Chain A
Amino acid sequence: MPIQVLMPALSPTMEKGNLAKWVKGVGDRIRSGDVIAEIETDKATMEVEATDEGTLGKILVPEGTADVAVNTPIAVILSDGEDAKALNGPLAAAVPPKAEDAVPPPPPSPGSTGVSPASSSFIAIRAGEAPALPEQAKPGVAATLAKVVEAFATPRQPVATPETEVPADAEMVTMTVREALRDAMAEEMRRDPDVFVIGEEVAEYQGAYKVTQGLLQEFGPTRVIDTPITEHGFAGLGVGTAMAGLKPIVEFMTFNFAMQAMDQIINSAAKTLYMSGGQMACSIVFRGPNGPAARVAAQHSQDYSAWYSHVPGLTVIAPFTAADAKGLLKSAVRYPNPVVFLENEILYGHSFPVPKHEDFLVPIGKARIARAGEHVTIVAWSMGMTYALKAAEELEKENISVEIIDLRTLRPMDTETIIRSVEKTGRCVVVEEGWQQSGVGAEISARLMEQAFDYLDAPVARVSGKDVPMPYAANLEKLALPSVAEVVTAVKAVCYR
């Protein structure tokens, strides 16, 4: 039976990629291990190797095709003895499932890069090039090198247009959150020679998640600085530079590793202005991906929103849209206080409209009404917004009108905007990926009880991560995280429907 070759995923979070080149042609003999095609994402090129013997019977996706969804059949291999007529018969691989109900890929092998094997092909990982985190071909290295990174696709659902800060006549450009963050840093570095970026793999490698793409080339190695592997060390060094008057942007490869640096973030960055009687300021941004990622297990998949938002002296930002990512990061760099800027790996590849303006700033400490509604308020931020927006669409069909507040800044919290909304709707659901106890949702619930009790027609409901370390198993991971269904259920509950 002919075998379908499916578009492989480089990582659990990749949704689409480009078919760069067919290395084999129709009629070519294929042995297991032969490279048959090259696939590109926005960050890397990889080779697709055949795992089955046979003849390349048909190419379904021509080379040069962009945005081929993962699991799309790209070619058919005929087994020995089969001829082209077999192509009209049944195919070995099932039609790929839709993205929404796709079976999560099996876990990557230890030390591998999180590759999900497709039916008859896999991504070649060369010996010695199997890092624990995404990697990309370095400049000058042949683009065909099989370096594996995760790629990201466009958003899965429409997104509300950013409001207020954007001038009505602003020209909008579509860009990913990743590009928006990069542009924010580049613009601020052009504007102020004291701004610099420091962290692991931020320079030569362009960022473990490619957020610092191109910065080394533009600003050179004294302002885009690769460090030894020491989160605590470079966070502390960054704090020292800030106290000496520079404006560092400290990138953590992920916030999971920032636990090493907690002492410097809290005891030094957040407290020195206070303890020095106002003599020594610390204008610094700690940024990087936060929150659960896909299939990276308990130590690499957790939400620190509540951790940092607990600390006075810190300012904690967690944007959802690319426009907010850009405008808030620029504001954070200019802010005279230490800022913890929580990004999200899964959102990096999502695209949003962003105002085309060099001086586009979003105010710190101000929430955004992402969607206006009448019956219930959902408060969310960062990745939580994806659940909220999808749930609102579903609920709309049942005539429940949802107002969504994108919190954007967690400390100081824009309580006023939340209360104003709840005064109108009388009901509130908070969505967060973090744990429920002492969570941001708990704080919002308490504030509503204290300050808007008379307006509440139902207790505030919290949809959050389960009280467990993130399970590695795909089915359990899905259950440990909030879901759209849970948000829908919670909204209906507070609406008594």
Chain B
Amino acid sequence: MSDQPTAGEELPVIARFEVRRRAYLAPDGTVARSLPQFAADTRVLVSLYRAMVLTRAFDLKAVSLQRTGRLGTYAPALGQEAVAVGVASAMLPEDVLLPSYRDNGALLWRGVKMEEILLFWGGDERGNDSSGPAHDFPPCIPVGSQAPHAAGVAYAFKLRREPRVAVCLFGDGATSKGDLWEAMNFAGVWQLPVVFIANNNQWAISVPLRLQTASATLAQKAIAAGFSGEQVDGNDVIAVRAAAERAVTAARSGKGPFFIEAVTYRLGDHTTADDAARYRPPEEVQAHWKEEPFARLRSYLVSQKAWGKSQEEELAGECQERVEAAVDRYLATGPRAPETMFDHLYAELPKAYRGQRDELQGTPRA
């Protein structure tokens, strides 16, 4: 029996799918496609630029704090700032953010203080009781387990008929986990107001994307769950924001879930405990530096006369000042009292545990 159908005997096509890609600014800052409406106001673009620069300044400082023993293991977002900032800028305060561990740009945009982020990564859970919206989730450290939570949050919105959206950020590695698939399946079946955003930085520690999946895109993973996905240039903050805004608005108006694959590149190590030079050719990293998100937006803003050298210098100084002040506040935070180890184990500590807690009272803090 031959697999080749004879003429006229091909099986009929019963479904076709397509995945589209969104990009506006080329790496040199030229406009490749007419910009979305919000970009007409360069003040909006400047605010995105400032947020990305602050994120990087914070990130670099966090890494140096770790190198000098004043912070725990830290996951830098070097080169991926446009993803977190672009997504957060498309959300309303009442929406719920479910971030992974590499999304500090989104946390800062949402109002979390830098010293709070440092406190958590410095090993103190008090940092997660943050100044950001109380309904936002703390960064999810396990890979992908926030995805089912996002579906749950979206279900709560649907049940209560609230026009709110759950926004879930994760990396390309998470797309191999059942967590994400299960969450997407729920979202598709129940048409939940949730937006899934993959920060496809192309490396899961040492595993490159081609060993993570044989899919041509990550965006197409949504198709099997019954909704649409789109690939965006994750180094183009305008594209990320435009895609996120469109998805969040659609979800808010009852049009169901959406998947965004933001293609970017991890210019730094996976975490401070990793040395990517051991498994990644430097030429590859060098090549991707030419596509990073800052230069193109700066070039565009300069071309629009909305940005210049003096603003750039001023911003650098301001960011450094803010970061240093946050570091000072972080380092001035004293260690927790030993018995607070039992805080928040339960809403109210049951009697059975009080003995263990009381034994810690009076123990030296450090």
Contact = CB atoms under 8 A, between A and B. Distances in A.
Interface of A: 196, 222-223, 227-228, 230, 232-246, 248, 263-264, 267-268, 272-281, 312-313, 315, 336-337, 365, 412-415
A236 B149 contact: yes
Given A278-B344, A312-B345, A337-B346, A246 B127 contact: no
Interface in B104-158: 125-130, 134-135, 137-138, 142, 145, 147-158
Contacts of A415: 352
Nearest to A248: B152
Contact of A365 (B134, B137, B182, B351): B351
A267 B183 CA distance: 17
A279 B352 CA distance: 23
B159 A223 contact: yes
Contact of A233 (B142, B183, B352): B183
Interface footprint category on B: 35 or more
B152 A238 contact: yes
A337 B350 CA distance: 11
A236 B179 contact: yes
A412 B352 contact: yes
Contacts of B345: 273-274, 312-313
B353 interface: yes
B339 to A, nearest CB: 14
A236 B148 CA distance: 5
Given A241-B153, A248-B152, 13 more contacts: A227-B186, A233-B148, A237-B151, A239-B152, A243-B149, A243-B153, A244-B156, A264-B145, A267-B142, A275-B138, A277-B125, A336-B348, A413-B352
28 contacts: A228-B182, A232-B178, A233-B186, A237-B151, A240-B150, A240-B155, A240-B156, A243-B152, A244-B152, A244-B157, A245-B156, A248-B152, A263-B142, A263-B145, A275-B125, A275-B128, A275-B138, A276-B138, A276-B344, A277-B125, A277-B128, A277-B129, A277-B344, A280-B137, A312-B353, A336-B346, A337-B347, A365-B352
A236 B134 contact: no
Nearest to B347: A336
B148 A239 contact: yes
Interface string B246-265: 00000000000000000000
A227 B135 CA distance: 25
A237 B350 contact: no
B152 A237 contact: yes
A497 B95 CA distance: 69
B273 interface: no
A157 B267 CA distance: 70
B278 to A, nearest CB: 30
Given A240-B151, A263-B145, A264-B145, A272 B138 contact: yes
A241 B156 contact: yes
B347 to A, nearest CB: 4
B343 interface: yes
- Interface-central residue, B127, B182, B183, B186, by most chain A CB under 10 Å: B182
B134 to A, nearest CB: 6
A414 to B, nearest CB: 8
B130 A239 contact: no
B316 interface: no
Contacts of A246: 156, 159
Contacts of B156: 240-241, 244-246
- Interface-central residue, B151, B155, B189, by most chain A CB under 10 Å: B155
B185 interface: yes
B323 interface: no
B352 A268 contact: no
Contacts of B137: 243, 276, 280
Given A233-B186, A337-B346, A278 B351 contact: no
Contacts of A365: 350-352
A99 B266 CA distance: 68
Contacts of B186: 227-228, 233-234, 237
A365 B352 CA distance: 9
A237 B189 contact: no
B159 A222 contact: yes
B347 A241 contact: no
Nearest to B125: A277
B138 A228 contact: no
A445 B229 CA distance: 57
A273 B152 contact: no
- Interface-central residue, A222, A232, A237, A246, by most chain B CB under 10 Å: A237
B170 to A, nearest CB: 13
Contact of A279 (B134, B142, B353): B134
B134 A230 contact: no
Contact of A278 (B96, B153, B343): B343
Contacts of B347: 273, 281, 336-337
B138 A279 contact: yes
B152 A276 contact: no
Contacts of A263: 142, 145
A233 B182 CA distance: 5
Given A246-B156, A275-B138, A230 B352 contact: no
- Interface-central residue, A277, A281, A312, by most chain B CB under 10 Å: A277
